[in-house]
A and B are shown apart, each in its own frame.
Chain A
Amino acid sequence: MATTKLTPEVDPLLQAAANAAPAAGTETVQMPVGVPGYTLRQEPRQVPVTEPPVLPVNKDLQYIGKSPTRWDSHAKVSGTARYTYDMQLPGMLYAKFVCASVPHARIVSVDTSEAEKLPGVKGVYVVQHLLGGAVLRNPSLDPSKYPIVRYAGQPVAAVAATHPHIAEQAAQLVKVQYDAKPFVVDMTQARQPNSPQVFPGPADQAGSAGGGGGPHDVPQTGNVHGPSIHKKGDPEQGFKDADVIVEGKYTTQVQVHNALETHGVVADWKPDLLTVWASTQGTASVRDELAAYFKMPKSQIRVITEFMGGGFGAKFGAGNPGVVAAQLSKQTGAPVWLMLDRKQEQLSAGNRPSSDQTLRIGAKKDGTITAMQLISYGTAGCGTGAGCAGPVTHLYDSPNLHTEENDVFINAGPAAAFRAPGHPQGAFALEQSIDELANKLNMDPIDLRDKIDSNPVRRVERQIIRESALWKSRNPKPGAGAGSGYLKRGVGLSQSVWYRFIRMDSSAEVRVHRDGSIEVLSAVQDIGTGIKTVMAQVLAEQFGVPPQQIAVKIGDTNYPIGPNSGGSVTTASLTPAVRDAAWQASQKFLASIAPALNTTADDLVLTGGEVRSKSGKLQPVSFRRAAKKMDTDVVSAQAKRIPDYDPAKYDTYGGVDVAEVEVDTEMGLIHVKRIFAVHDCGRPMNPMQVKNQINGGLIQGISYALYENRLLDPKFGYMVNPNLDMYKIAGPRDIPQLDVHVIESYIGQSSTDASGIGEAAGVMSAAAAIANAFHNATGVRIRSTPMTPAVVLEALKQAPQRSETA
């Protein structure tokens, strides 16, 4: 956990939980731990007596671990799902940002008079305080009336009008006068001592509720923010002790999240209540930022996210759209809709930083790693968060480790957490280096990893892969991949690692009504991962009724606090609270009906849609009929997340992926034919949804590996492809056959023992697996992404690296 920058707010909680003394009132229970069929066993855990009974493994459950259809799927397929983008309120105004047209400048003046005169324009607001990006440690170094423009596309002002057309036209009438400053958008150039400086002094970026951001306690020289240095053991000695050293330079590009629903909100400022519909991964994070910004009590802010069109890490907090829409609503007295357009989304709504990595690994002849060293530079635009040492720090056992991570400021939009921050970059370098090491040692890549990776779950995953037909079809000799003529086939493997993060701010309330209806409430938002379905499953298991009969009410800060969905925390954090609330509500329910049934609550059990008597003294009664016997109209219970049962037993999650590629060596095209993927995420709550996310992670990884690239013109600082045709994202014809296997891995940590799969879904490892398959096919190592025809053909000009073969 040492170097990952994912969630500064989470780590202390985890630590606190680890340090907590065993609570009074605990009991020892036996819990399933391990992988069924491989390592499953029972382990003791000290558990509060208030916890519900231990859940057995999935095969012994009725609804959890099964795959009922997505709870809100009917709304999504029929167009009735209402996203923030779709909100239409009476009298609502449409707002549009005015964005900076230069990459670096002091704003001299903003003239909104022409815009204000346009009929239909109801409000104009000039941005006073910009959110996102790094902030100077000493703000007085850059005095300015308006926020300094640090990238082209930075929000400067916004207009609100009665129709989107009018807002668009009004935005063009706002005149901004710039005092242009020198700028730099090329990272290599930005590292030079004589480069224009993005900040006149040291600057830091805070992480969001979803992670990202960078270290604050590091030096800054020019545009280079860092290094952030971590050392373990004696790396120098480790390299001296090595029999073999592999070293490589790897570069990766900037990737833009490009959620299909852009960032934005609808804000309705009323005297007593600010209501905000937000496209967010954290209703709580939006409320918190608005409360801080406007110095309002949280109780006067309500945030709603009923449906949400994708975030991938970039949608936390109110952000500039949130505060500006709220300002405009306050000013005009009308609800204000403010969603970014696609170009603004590309420029100002976050991205995955680039990387320029030098990685060295020393090993003994038997594969034992003696030392690893990573020196990385990356740009997060005018923000930080380009560190990528996560994989090298956490994936393999090395007694000696040295990492130096540097952020390089350029005049581009700030990065944001992006699905497994730092890991796709880091894994691209690390997993190719391990592959190279295996070749040098004449070892099978799986055997080598068995030697250097002690994680028991990944060991099982590798075993499954070892036995797969795809892996067996691999010719171990690099460049000798089957295939005649210009098509070369290859198979390559990569691993990935992610962490168990828990958000303690995770609560739920469960209510049972006398008419037999059951509902669960939490402020948590479903960002497409299916938490609504999983919540319904948890209640279904508890009450013995089908999940479709559970009313799931989420995405509203009027409900008990929900976790911000970043870092794969949602399922791990919330489902235990949901189960605890369901358990408590069910006990209250049974107590409420028992007298009318002439029995006691402990004689009753909920199963098969019925209330049954353990003693057999009652005939089974349907749940609905039994509910009529309640002594009050509604019973409810609210529960919060309690700490993991045994945080000291910390496990990572991950997966192992094998890619099969066919390289068209004449056209420089890599055709990914198939990916065989084996992943873990604790107890899979809904395997169909989990696999769907892994499909998606792999596809995003393929897209990152082969196509996506934010391109900035080096001389003028503008993005040349801020659209969805020249910013290239994998489409239906670019998708290989995906064979995804989710293994059950029990860790005995909570009442559901579940975790999330968002990060550990293949997005980290796909690029490295493809690159290793490419090497297997061609004998040539490709060390930069995206692996476009231009890059592939250039790489193929090298002679195959025979040194990698034994």
Chain B
Amino acid sequence: MKQFTLADCTTESAALSQLNGGAVVKAGGVDLLDLMKSGLIAPSRLVNIRNISGMNGIQSTPDGLKIGALTTLAEISENPEIKSQYAILSDACGHAATPHIRNMATLGGNLLQQNRCWYFRSDDFACLKKGKDVCFAFDGLNQYHAIFDNGTCPSVAPSSAAVALLGLNANVELSSAKRGKRTVALKDFYVKPEVNPMTRTVIQPDELLTAVTVPKPASGTRSAYQKYGDKKSFDWAIADAGVVLEMNGNICRKAAIVMGAASPVVRRSPEAEAVLQGKPITEETARAAGKAAMQGAQPLSMNGYKVQLFPVAIYRTILLAAGQMGRDPSAAG
């Protein structure tokens, strides 16, 4: 790591006043230190927001939840209300990375972390995401890469929390010293690589992500998230699925089906959701939904197997959400 100055802030306004001249925000610091240690970035100034009070914690409001950006993944996964009312979010945060990292990593940092791609993560390769004009994954080793939206940069979305939050129609709150606060729906938060491979989100350099709000689910909502890896101990997802079902008896009124490791940006599948809408949840409909979710998948040279995995991840997670199947022993951690 190169040297840097650390500006330690205890208030949001103090932190916002620091966001200029290329300063980089540090919260839990997990992804940031990874990038810095790997020599991928070398900021000369870090703005430490970790010690800001009032930006952490989980608040239950009449409209739903407000989760401070500094809340750790462990805190979210263990919160009783989230466990019972927002199971998808508890599952997603509780299966990210390792237990230790979940104790350190914040929700904000998790949403803002860089994509997973070994070419991007290696200082041996100067790629599209580093401002060059080459993607090495197309002709290289792409077994873990995206099967959707992979025409520009097929790195995959890293955040399991984002899978859950997209399924829950969450919003992120952004704050800037000059422009004040704004709210962005999570579905509009991420920027596809076709637009700009180097910018992952719409957040501006002078903005802080301060909180995430989650609308209260309609009554009868059931949800779940499952992640699959090559191994069950710490591993990155090779397939994952977030499912939110608004049930009326056994009939699904409305569904959200979300995938993370399928594309550069977390992806909802309207095709899969349409299959479930107005239908009872059965293994048959769940499998049909999983299959529908693969419409338009365009695997690369080595990741065709992921087109087989996602439908399975999806149908099993639908059945888990619907209470028709236990947590899948094949799923990771």
Contact = CB atoms under 8 A, between A and B. Distances in A.
- Do A and B share a direct contact in the complex (Cβ within 8 angstroms)? yes
Interface of A: 101, 152, 165, 168-169, 172, 664, 666-669, 671, 706-707, 711, 713-716, 718, 720-722, 725-726, 728, 730-734, 788-790, 793-794
Contact of B2 (A169, A713, A731, A794): A169
B158 to A, nearest CB: 12
Interchain residue pairs A-B with the least CB separation, the first 10: A731-B233, A720-B118, A733-B232, A718-B124, A790-B305, A733-B233, A666-B312, A664-B330, A793-B305, A734-B231
A789 to B, nearest CB: 6
Interface string B219-248: 000000000101111111011000000000
A101 B124 contact: yes
Contact of B118 (A152, A667, A726, A733): A726
A718 B121 CA distance: 12
Interface of B: 1-3, 39, 118-119, 122, 124-125, 136, 139-141, 143, 228, 230-236, 238-239, 302-303, 305, 308-309, 312-313, 329-330, 332-333
Nearest to B236: A725
A169 B1 CA distance: 8
Given A667-B312, A726-B118, A790 B330 contact: no
Contacts, number: 90
A152 B124 contact: yes
A707 B141 CA distance: 16
A793 B2 contact: no
20 contacts: A165-B1, A666-B312, A667-B228, A667-B239, A667-B312, A671-B330, A706-B231, A711-B118, A713-B125, A713-B136, A713-B141, A715-B140, A730-B233, A731-B233, A732-B233, A733-B231, A733-B332, A734-B233, A793-B305, A793-B309
A517 to B, nearest CB: 43
Most chain A CB within a 10 A radius of its CB, from B124, B140, B234: B124
Contacts of B119: 713, 720
A790 B125 contact: no
A392 to B, nearest CB: 30
Nearest to A341: B37
B118 A668 contact: no
B136 A790 contact: no
Contact of B141 (A666, A711, A725, A730): A711
B140 to A, nearest CB: 5
Contact of A734 (B232, B303, B308): B232
A716 B308 contact: no
Contact of A707 (B139, B230, B302): B230
A664 B139 CA distance: 30
A189 to B, nearest CB: 14
Contacts of B139: 715
B231 A789 contact: no
A668 B312 CA distance: 10
A669 B124 contact: no
A152 to B, nearest CB: 7
Contacts of A101: 124
A531 B160 CA distance: 46
A664 B332 CA distance: 13
A5 to B, nearest CB: 31
Q: Is the interface of A mostly helix, strand, loop or mixed?
A: loop
A790 B143 contact: yes
Contacts of A790: 143, 302-303, 305
Given A706-B231, A731-B234, A734-B232, 7 more contacts: A101-B124, A718-B124, A731-B232, A733-B232, A733-B333, A789-B238, A790-B303
A711 B141 CA distance: 8
Dominant SS at the B interface? loop
A720 B228 contact: no
A668 B39 CA distance: 36
B228 A669 contact: yes
Nearest to B331: A667
A406 B139 CA distance: 29
Contacts of B330: 664, 667, 669, 671
Contacts of A720: 118-119, 122, 140-141
A707 B231 contact: yes
Contact of A718 (B122, B302, B303, B333): B122
Contacts of B143: 790
A338 B327 CA distance: 47
Contacts of B305: 668, 789-790, 793-794
Nearest to B2: A169
Contact of A716 (B136, B230, B233): B136
A377 B234 CA distance: 33
Contacts of B333: 733
A794 B230 CA distance: 15
B124 A716 contact: yes
B190 to A, nearest CB: 23
Contacts of A666: 308, 312
B259 to A, nearest CB: 15
Contacts of A711: 118, 141
Contacts of B125: 713, 716, 718
A788 B313 CA distance: 16
Query: Most chain-B CB neighbours within 10 Å: which of A707, A725, A732?
Result: A725
| Central interface residue in A169, A666, A794, by most chain B CB within 10 Å | A666
A693 to B, nearest CB: 21
B228 A728 contact: no
Nearest to A731: B233
A706 B231 CA distance: 8
Nearest to A790: B305
B318 to A, nearest CB: 14
Contacts of A168: 1
A101 B123 CA distance: 10
Contacts of B303: 790
A728 B232 CA distance: 11
Contacts of B238: 789
Contacts of B312: 666-667
Nearest to A721: B118
A788 B140 contact: no
A596 to B, nearest CB: 61
A668 to B, nearest CB: 7
A184 to B, nearest CB: 15
Contacts of A668: 305, 308-309
A578 B76 CA distance: 58
Nearest to A730: B231
Contact of B230 (A714, A732, A788): A788
Contacts of B232: 731, 733-734
Contacts of A706: 230-231
Contacts of A725: 234-236
A227 B124 CA distance: 35
A792 to B, nearest CB: 9
A331 to B, nearest CB: 27
A714 B308 contact: no
Interface centre among B2, B39, B305, B313, by most chain A C-beta atoms within 10 angstroms, is B305
A406 B238 CA distance: 35
A725 to B, nearest CB: 7
B119 to A, nearest CB: 7
A716 B136 CA distance: 9
A782 to B, nearest CB: 14
A716 B123 CA distance: 13
Contacts of A734: 231-233
Nearest to A735: B233
Contacts of A794: 305
A668 B330 CA distance: 10
Contact of B231 (A664, A667, A722, A728): A728
Nearest to B332: A733
Contact of A789 (B140, B230, B233, B329): B230
Contacts of B1: 165, 168
A790 B122 CA distance: 24
Contacts of A722: 122
A791 to B, nearest CB: 9
A471 B228 CA distance: 30
A152 B118 CA distance: 16
Nearest to A723: B121
